[in-house]
Structure 1
Amino acid sequence: MFSGAHSRDLLFSFTVRDGDKVTLPCENVINNHLNCDTTTWLFTDSRGKAAVELVNLGQIKEKAKSDRLSVTAECSLVLKKVTVEDVGRYTCRQFIGNPWTQQGPDAVVYLSVVHMTEQKKADEVTLNCSVWRYERCKYKVKWIHNSEALDRDYSNLKPLESECSATVTFLNLAYTHLSTYDFNCSVTTEDNKVQLFTFSTQSSGKKPGEVLKNLSK
């Protein structure tokens, strides 16, 4: 099962941490293809540049990312060591015939990336968690500690939440028992699925954030 949420057929959205690996499904694959020779993958970044062809009829074409890209037997696109530069819209298209003619609708995947930072200033530590995305912000972001909201058990900490971003600041001397790696960034999607990302400024090699629960509206 894919670690992502889809709102309707042929449209998926994934949220992963930078440094992790993600598999983007192609939901319109033609039967009886030979090594994905009917499949083309396109990428459009969040800056609105023209679409870039990543895969053409099963063959990797984007040289800048070729060491991080691969195609599965099911024609899904695998992207390793994800960065915020990979945020965007991924389109899987099917072509047959001579000349090549597109078959069926596009299969679209939106990829968002969670990026975390740590800043130390004197005895003060500030953690930031941001979701980089293709479209407008559709997420609620907050920090939690040991599965509890910070404003419940740690009233003296300074959490701050803004659009698609959250920070928490604390004094080392006041909270010597706290470890930054005990903090989790909670990301809630529009359809109320929650993913928890343990604090890390780089990939831990673990799976992308686990979908924990569905919250009632």
Structure 2
Amino acid sequence: MGITNKMSLFLILLLQLTAVTGKRFFTVKVGDEVTFPCTNVMDHQDKCDGTTWLYNESGGTAVVTLVDRGQVGEEAKAKSDRLRVTENCSLGIKKVTEEDAGQYSCRQVRSGQQQGEDALVYLSVVRMTEHQDNDEVTLRCSVTTNGWCRHTVKWLFNHQDVDEYQKDMKTSKDSVTFLTSHVGYTSGFHLFTCQLTDDYTGYVSLFPFSPSSSGLLRVIVVSVGLAALIMIVVAVNIWTRIKEKKTQMDEISVRYDVDDGIVIYENI
């Protein structure tokens, strides 16, 4: 079966799964933005005044009211600058963190009474990190789940399975280790991709790796430091040669004057 047919079949199964369970699943990377649809939203609302968004932390029992009748709730003030409610009452979250993983519920209320069942959304958050020990680098792709989902992690290099095609790389459950002599910061790191497979839905997500700001800063500092060192060495070398040439010229001038029987005192 071709890739296109497989994708079509998968989308059909995913739509059927969503229709049957009423649940939606999202997997995003730390720092990304995500918007959850409210699939049970009622008509004829004034600025979503009949919509409430609830949050249940991954593995926890406490429920936090993020949005109360269309407005960011008091319990969510700490991250109110990251939350927004769209015109169709969807919930948007900016700069996603690992702490955002969990279950989200869109509830419809009219005249103080809940209307129908909650529309449920499950969020998993991916964090990608790097650790360098001398010439050895380890990339890790960890997932904070919502308590419902489980993911299988696989590393790809240049769109190929690391385990199958890259014999000089070592992989574990969620990491890959290699030597910088084989893969450089600027030329090879972007070829790594973390592939996540949702064990519940079978959905596959791909997250290309990019060096962290600290990693890039380390490379920039080393590069700038090396360039500065080279400039200093070159400057010292030039200065030394100029001084040697000037000294040689002064010595020749003094000897010439002495040979003529004339002694001239100069400030050198």
TM range (shorter): 0.7 to 0.9
| Correspondence for 1:151 | 163
Once the two structures are superposed, what CA deviation does each residue of 1:106-138 show, in whole Å capped at 9, x if it has no partner? 111000001110000011000000111011552
Q: 187-196 vs 21-30, which deviates more?
A: 187-196
Indicate the percent of aligned positions where both proteins have the same amino acid: 47
| Higher helix residue share | 2
Amino acid corresponding to residue 74 of structure 1 in structure 2: N
Kept in 1: contact 2:130–2:212 (CA 8 A) = no
Task: Give me the TM-score of the superposition, normalised by structure 1.
Answer: 0.83
Confirm or deny that 1:171 pairs with 2:179: yes
Give the structure 1 partner of residue 202 of structure 2: 192
AA in 2 matched with 1:76: S
Query: Is the aligned partner of 1:8 residue 2:18?
Result: yes
Give the unaligned 5+ runs of structure 1.
204-217
The answer to which structure, 1 or 2, has the higher relative contact order (CA under 8 A, 6+ apart) is 1
Aligned to 1:83: 97
Whether the 8 Å CA contact 1:146–1:182 is kept in 2: the answer is yes
**Is the CA contact (8 Å cut-off) linking 2:193 and 2:208 kept in structure 1?**
yes
CA–CA distance in 2 between the matches of 1:200 and 1:66? 29
**Separation in 2 of the partners of 1:102 and 1:201?**
47
Once residues 109 and 132 of structure 2 are traced to their aligned partners in structure 1, the CA distance between those partners, rounded to angstroms, is: 53
SS at match of 2:164: helix
SS at match of 1:195: strand
What does the per-residue CA deviation read over 1:116-174, in whole Å, with 9 as the maximum and x for residues that have no partner? 1000001100000011101155211111011100123211200112xxxx100001124
- The match for 1:36 is 48
Pairing 1:197-208 to 2, within 5 Å after superposition: 197-200=207-210
1:200 corresponds to which letter in structure 2?
S
Aligned match of 2:9 = none
- Once the two structures are superposed, residues 52-71 of structure 1 have per-residue CA deviations (whole angstroms, 9 ceiling, x without a partner) of 10000000111011000001
Counterpart of 1:105 in 2: which secondary structure?
coil
Q: Which residue of 2 aligns with 1:181?
A: 190
Q: Does the aligned pair in 1 maintain the 2:159–2:191 contact within 8 Å?
A: no
What is the one-letter code of the residue matched to 2:91? L
Residue 109 of structure 1 corresponds to 121
Q: CA deviation at 1:201?
A: 5.9
**Correspondence for 2:39:** 27
Given that 1:18 and 1:202 are in contact with CA atoms closer than 8 Å, whether structure 2 keeps it comes out as: no
Partners of 1:74 and 1:173 in 2: CA distance: 52
**Separation in structure 2 between the aligned mates of residue 69 and residue 63 of structure 1, nearest angstrom:** 9
Query: Pairwise CA RMSD of aligned residues?
Result: 1.9
Name whichever structure is richer in strand by fraction. 1
Match of 1:211 in 2: none
Report the TM-score, using the length of structure 2 for normalisation: 0.68
Determine the C-alpha separation between the residues in 1 that align with 2:211 and 2:32: 12
| Structure 1: distance between partners of 2:192 and 2:128 | 11
Aligned residues: 193
1:130 to 119, 122, 142: 142
Whole-angstrom CA distance in 2 between matches of 1:37 and 1:67: 20
State the 1:202 CA deviation.
6.1
Larger Rg: 2
State the match for 1:48 in structure 2: 60
Preserved contact between residue 183 and residue 199 of structure 1 (Cα < 8 Å): yes
